[in-house]
Structure 1
Amino acid sequence: MRAAGEATRERILVAATEEFAEFGFAGARINRIAKTARASKDRLYTYFENKEDLYTAVTARWVAETVGEAALTADDLPGYVGRLYDSFLSHPHNLQLQTWIELESPEILFREGPFRAAREVKLAEIRRGQRAGLIDSSWKATDLLIMLTDIPRTLAASVLVAERNAPAGLTHSVRADRRIAAIEATRRLIAFQNPSAQVV
């Protein structure tokens, strides 16, 4: 593909990411994506067959981006959660995309494709850590992975809300404090529990 064509395709992907993050799949409009990307609809369709094809490309890029920035390893789940928190803050559109997918089309998470492949790798790492005695084995790996995703996502979302509504001076403090909270919550979550301890 020529450089000009690659640049056009990139503009379309960026515009589509913003559109899908804002409106979800159902609410997204190809006309708006093409306009934002400074491309005609015909031009857009030379790169992507239809709306579904474009959505697939956007979500595949998001998965690759997130995995690249926040790889999960069994011996450092707190570090993974910290990196995932950072990734959500660096790419708010990815946070929004994940929320839309879970609301509109959760089946994407389980069908063959980048979501499922990334999920299976993470589950395998968690199970490896449980076998090695690094992670509390009383958790189901699938449940633990959901929590390890939702802790940083929820805290990152709360930071983004705070930054829109709070004085600029609070921004760094809020980001740092909630990152520490996400990591500490993960440490406690995966630690082996003392069976003789009483639940209060």
Structure 2
Amino acid sequence: MTKRTLAMLLALLALLLTGCGNAEPKTTEAEIGSQSTDDAAALPDTTEQKPVADAPMMVMVDNTLYQSTGEVSTVDGRCGNMDGEITSQTANGTDAPTENGQSNFGTGYGYQRIDDHIEVLIDNQWIVFEQDATVPRMVMVDGKLYQETGNLPSEPFCGTPDGSITSKTANRNDVPTENNQSNFSDNRDFVFIDEDTIYVSATPDWMEFKVITDSDV
């Protein structure tokens, strides 16, 4: 074999080795790309909706939806008779009840009506449920509109009331328009304290109400 022939064979061998060396990375790159795609497919779908957080405890009674305040009742001298019982439950805890006697947290709970709210006996505690009110408690007496201040009387009232609330607005969020009317109860006593203040009987205390103007409503 001549030197020239040997050189050509060596050059051809080098060329073949170079081609084989380039082919392997391409295969590896393809495999990596394929693996990356498979991994992405295995990841959880980030567009999937997350579970909705539990809604507050709710009850529907007399076609009115009540929501738990999370407070334990302070009512004393309660009678033992229930006004009703929770007999059905929504499909899940995030649904709002749509039927009377229905809750979103369970069945078999007794309840009592207390003025403008209800109280449900849960685990031997009376839990307060109120309407979703956007308007504060108000009463109209002698042509004046009074609004609850949230304050208790500085001293307990033990005298004779000056009058009684005898009617209630159709809706908790309505503003009273008639004398001796409130937007929360039709069975309360009141007493005049001064020109702008009255006390209205509540359960279990009297509450302070102050005269307001139309702009305050």
Same-fold status (TM-score > 0.5) = no
Higher helix share: 1
Instruction: Select the structure with the greater relative contact order (CA < 8 A; seq sep ≥ 6).
Output: 1
Larger Rg: 2
TM-score by length of 2: 0.20
